Structure 1
Amino acid sequence: MKTKLYYLLIILILVSCKKQDEWLDKKANISDVIPVTLNDMQALLDNDDVLNRQYPALGLIASDNFFVSNSYLAATYTLERTSYKWASDIFEGLTTEGFDWSVCYKQIEYANIVLDGINKVAHSNQNEYDNIKGQALFFRAYSLYHLMQVFGKPYIPGRESVDLGVIVKLSSDINVKAQRSTVQACYDQIIADLKSAETLLPQYALYKTRPSKIAAHAMLSKVYLNMQNYNQAYVYAGLVLAQEHSLLDFNSISKTPTYPFPRFPGVVNSEILFFSSSQTYSMFGLSTMFVDPGLYGLYVANDLRKTLFFRTNADGTYSFRGRYTGTTPLFNGLAINETMLIQAECLARAGSTEAAMTVLNGLLKTRWIKDSNGNSTYVDRMAANAEDALKIILIERRKELPFTGNLRWEDLRRLNQDARFAKTLVRDIAGVSYSLPPNDLRYTYPIPPAEMNVHSVIQNER
């Protein structure tokens, strides 16, 4: 019976180009699943509806890159409305787990099922075994990282061993109760999983929805940047860019489609290293999410991002359409452009002004209009010193990655620790002013009530 099912699964893959783990549908819940072969485990990890989509996005809702109308806000879902207003109590009596929390732990459970069982599986193909184990380790780290950006305290050097992170689940056994770990312990686990994964994964994956060695390096660079360990962030960014540095020429992208960039998983976007997307909150629609005028004003006329990223609406507002998914969901994955910006920032912080600007200019040149002779109209940016370079790079980081997952939220949490870049967020909603000062307790979301009832963990102060 299982053999027939695997053949059916292969046929479905070939016909639809979508890797689904259909045998899971016959199970009441994921904890009932006991994969017994490597094929079972790969099928589990190929469920991209679970493992590559629906990553946390509450941080984006609370960031400063967009606004919504007062009428829409009054009618939208509770979690979206309260997050947008930076409310202390975002649940307002709701007993829900919240998608940002529950989906990530479902992803971690999938990974743990594989990791709990893979050592017991007889196998003849060591490369396949290593690859599957590496994928599971990557997914566990990836999901834990994204949980930390919403529900764990920011990484603040000197407080990382005191402040609380999230619950680290290393077993698929639902009877194992866990408490919250410190921020440092959470990041230690993320790094350990990613470093183990990089030794097991192939350099390139068969699909962009599967982790690879390059994706593990890109993620390590991102994690170390978040920890403000800029030396290690630079090292891992360099490992990525030594292998992959193919950027899209924005001159080759048509402005006509609603969503201009290649639709995943159709035409390959060469910049994507690993594909994942965010929760599709209703607030993120083209007709509901309007770009902050201050952000839009940062783009100059010859910058193709001004038209490829944004749609001009009849009322003079702007909507974000430059989604690397090529469709409605917002891209949340790993890409070359982000890795280059990490490398540039690290170089600037190390005092290597010229090298930092060379990396940045290499990226921006592909975003500028070409003249009639096919030459870029871009003029290399110059920086007077390393601090000037850093300021330029951080602005360009915001412009290049305005709606990539929770990235702006992550940057606010990190950069607010530096007085040079600290920012108070302000919203005027129906005549009432709301604000979120730097390093406010509300930069960490509360643990959902449903989880509090199960684990009785310490709640985040708001």
Structure 2
Amino acid sequence: MKNIYKKLACLLALGLTFVSCNDYLDDVPKGSKTPTTLADFEAFIRDEYGNQIVNVAQALNLLNDNYVTVANLSGDRLTKANYMWDETADRIQLNQGDEITYYRSYAGISSFNLIIANALTATEATDEQRRIVWAEAKVLRAMSYYNLANFYADTYTASTAGTKLSVPLITSADINAPSKQLTIQEMYDFILNDVKEALPYLPKVSQTALHPNLGAGYAFYSRVYLQMNNYSEALKYADLALAENNRLYDWVGYYNTNKAIIDVPNSYTATASPMGYNYVENYTFRHGSIYYLSREFNIPVERAQHFETNDVKFKSRWKPITVGSENYYRTTLSGMFNFGGITTVEVYLIKAECLARANQISDALNVLNTVRKTRILPASYQDISTADKTTALNAIFRTKNNELINTLIPFADARRLNAEGVYKVSLTKTVEGTNYSLASDSYLWTMPFPQGATQNPGNGTITQNVDK
């Protein structure tokens, strides 16, 4: 396996064979610096193009949340299997090169492990400063394991979480450290405990957008508890997160400011993305796919149709285009996009779902409509009003899927809802006269580990969580 990722100290990537971090620290190459000060270790958090990347491209392919060209479908068989919902394909055999999600995530975890192991004894810092960096690394490690667990393993279901396997856990930055593939329950317990230990030390104000603050800790806790169908705890931490930051971006104002550019037919002049480091909705910022750091994915026509009429957040981001025989919606924003972190809009919609689950329908819709008013043109806007729980929840799910498109969350939510069995998610489309469908119980909803990981698992073992 080739060395893809460079680190200030060293990497963890299960299955790779490099010197250990301990070896590295004992034998520093000429011209290199041994990390000893807190600033040295904190620099790993600032590695936004390495440790802060959250690549979930195949999940987006499965959802058809990004448009894949005919040429790319012809050249990438794994992408085609997911994008076209091909249950005859053996994705384990096809997944010989799509290893970025796995190794990039574990490389980041290695860096966070290094911080956790060394920050509390680092030099040139106060005890309070050391604890803050240690806590930030704890949250980022937990977030990375959550992403892996909701990509390569089945979703959390209480009745089976104690027996089904999740992903390998490693808590040392030593490349020779043993790993253990935990059960889903064990992995969620580990994630929750990491955040529990971090919360007392997280600052209210982030040092940078990449550094999780107290609001981020609460928001992530809310995300995890929602995935576990623990709505009371998810609501509790959603409220705590919103007490730290409840701002929503004014997309109506953005559209009105830029409409002279946005509304020009057949023009794809880009406007600046407001969803970067200073986005008012950020709790913590992490990049999405490494392939599109300065622009978004294009989206299929069918996906564009799921947005509400005169949703100006949508209108500000995509515009229809025809290239040869292909029709899709082309991205029209440039800049940075918080597709791997956590934002207030997600927490608002977690709160709305939890309230609806508790039959507080009116309160749930008040929260939902608070979000929608910042996205829909006033001339078109109407409150969603219903006393029916299912209607309310479906409106919440629709808004959340649209708001968090290009992130892991719609994929994780669909798996959660499918496992619950009440609000199942299935997909259909027609391409050149042929109908395609993705059933709610399809094995495609879990991604296979890459062959490089299963064939070279390092100091541990890895069992595939899917048959193909």
Map 1:253-332 → 2, pairs under 5 A: 253=254, 254-255=258-259, 256=261, 258-262=270-274, 264-265=276-277, 268-281=278-291, 289-293=298-302, 295-314=303-322, 317-319=327-329, 321=331, 326-327=334-335, 331-332=339-340
Cα separation, 1, equivalents of 2:67 and 2:107: 31
**Mapped partners of 1:50, 1:412: distance in 2:** 28
Do 2:252 and 2:313's aligned partners in 1 also have CA atoms closer than 8 Å?
A: no
- Shifted more, 187-196 versus 272-281: the winner is 272-281
Q: Are the equivalent residues in 1 in contact too, given 2:295–2:331 (CA < 8 A)?
A: no
Question: Mean Cα displacement is larger for which, 224-233 or 85-94?
Answer: 85-94
The answer on whether the counterparts of 1:112 and 1:171 sit within 8 Å (CA) in structure 2 is: yes
- TM-score, normalised on structure 2? 0.83
* 8 Å CA contact retained: 1:427, 1:435: yes
Contact 1:413 1:439 in 2 (8 A): no
CA drift of 1:243 comes to 2.3
Contact 1:97 1:449 in 2 (8 A): no
Describe the SS at the equivalent of 2:167.
strand
Q: Is the 8 A contact 2:112 2:141 kept in 1?
A: yes
Number of residue-to-residue matches in the alignment: 427
CA–CA distance in 2 between the matches of 1:408 and 1:424? 13
**Range with bigger deviation, 64-73 or 204-213:** 64-73
Which aligned pairs between 1:195-234 and structure 2 lie closer than 5 A?
A: 195-234=196-235
Amino acid at match of 1:83: N
Secondary structure of 1:417 counterpart = helix
Q: Deviations over 1:192-211 (max 9, x none)?
A: 11121111110110211111
Q: Per-residue displacement from partner, 1:41-95 (whole Å, max 9, x unpaired)?
A: 11222211112224333211111434434343113x3443333244543354664
The SS at the match of 1:142 is helix
Q: What residue is the counterpart of 1:440 in the other structure? A: 442
Which of the residues 447, 454, 458 maps onto 2:456?
454
Which of the residues 349, 353, 365 maps onto 1:357? 365
User: Distance in 2 between the 1:425 and 1:107 partners?
Assistant: 33
Report what 2:14 is aligned to.
Answer: none
Matched residue SS, 2:193: helix
Listed as ranges, the gaps of 5+ residues in structure 1 are 1-20, 372-376
Pair 1:55 & 2:60 matched = no
The superposition leaves residues 360-412 of structure 1 with CA deviations (integer Å, 9 ceiling, x where unpaired) of 111111112246xxxxx533221123333212211221222222x12221111
Q: Structure 1 residues 140 and 381 mapped into 2: Cα distance closer, same or farther (>3 Å)?
A: same
Question: What is the SS of the residue equivalent to 2:374?
Answer: helix
Corresponding position of 1:412: 414
SS of residue matched to 2:391 = helix
SS where residue 416 of structure 1 aligns?
Answer: helix
1: CA distance, partners of 2:408 / 2:315: 23
Check if 1:384 corresponds to 2:383.
no
Instruction: Summarize the Cα distance change of 1:232–1:116 in structure 2 as closer, same or farther, 3 Å threshold.
Output: same
Shift of 1:423: 3.0
Distance 1:460 1:361 in 2: 39
Contact 1:35 1:117 in 2 (8 A): no
Partner Cα separation in structure 1 for residue 343 and residue 437 of structure 2: 32
Superposed displacement of residue 218, structure 1:
0.8
Q: Is the 8 A contact 1:280 1:329 kept in 2?
A: no
Q: Over aligned residues, Cα RMSD in angstroms?
A: 2.9
Judge conservation of contact 1:97–1:450 (CA < 8 Å) in 2: no
For the residues of structure 2 that align with 1:449 and 1:419, how far apart are their CA atoms?
32
Q: Is 2:345 the partner of 1:337?
A: yes
Q: Within 5 A, what are the aligned runs for 1:80-159?
A: 80-86=79-85, 88-90=89-91, 92=93, 95-96=96-97, 98-122=99-123, 125-159=126-160
The residue type equivalent to 1:321 in the other structure is: T
* Conserved? CA contact 2:321–2:327, under 8 Å: yes
Describe the shift of the 1:280–1:42 C-alpha distance in structure 2 as closer, same or farther (beyond 3 A): closer
1:396 to 393, 396, 399: 399
Q: Calculate the TM-score normalised by the size of structure 1.
A: 0.84
Deviation at 1:413, TM superposition (A): 0.5
8 Å Cα contact 2:45-2:52 kept in structure 1: no
Q: 1:320 to 1:134 in 2, by over 3 A?
A: farther
How far the C-alpha of 1:285 sits from its partner, in A, is 7.5
Whose RCO is larger (CA < 8 A, sep 6+)? 2
Does the CA-based 8 Å contact 2:20-2:174 persist in structure 1? no
Partners of 2:340 and 2:146 lie apart in 1 by 12
Please give the alpha-carbon distance, in whole angstroms, between the structure 2 residues aligned to 1:431 and 1:251: 38
Tell me the amino acid that sits aligned with residue 394 of structure 2. K
- Mapped to 2, the partners of 1:321 and 1:340 lie a distance apart of 26
Aligned counterpart, 2:266: none
Deviations 1:101-132 (A, max 9, x none): 00000010001111122344356512211111
Gap change, CA 1:94 and 1:395, over 3 Å in 2: closer
2: distance between equivalents of 1:96 and 1:36?
A: 36
